[in-house]
Amino acid sequence: MTEHSRLHSIPGGRDDRPRRPELAAPEPLWREVLGERLRSLRREQRETLVETAGRAGISPQYLSEVERGRKEPSSEMIAALAGALGTTLGGLTEQVAEELRARRAPVRRTQAAPTLLLRAA
């Protein structure tokens, strides 16, 4: 996928091109870890995309995209998927948060230029 020439990275956001090779890889995005956890839960129950998606009220194609971290589902959609997989929204959120904590790279303090934040009027 090519980037639009007018789009810029958000400071502190995910950037697929490392600025300096000595820095650690970027942290995974929430939607990526959520998708991995949903897929893991579904496979533990030996279910197909069609079965789980049907109970959650979504298409198998959409569930596949969520599991691959391509789509950012709404909180209502996450709750429906959690219920379809026999857990709660809170339980699923805790599982994803634990995985994110486990993957957290050590923070390296560097001498960075101050970030300027602008407020919309």
Determine contact, residues 63/52, Cβ cutoff 8 Å. Answer: yes
- In this prediction, residue 27 carries a pLDDT of 81
Taking all residues of the chain, what is their mean pLDDT, rounded to a whole number?
82
Distances (CA, A) of 60 to 57, 68, 85: 9, 12, 14
Chain centroid to Cα 21, Å, comes to: 24
Backbone angles phi, psi at 59, to 5 degrees: -80, 150
Give residue-wise pLDDT tens across range 37-63.
999 999 999 999 999 999 999 999 999
Confidence label for 104 from pLDDT (cuts 50, 70 and 90): confident
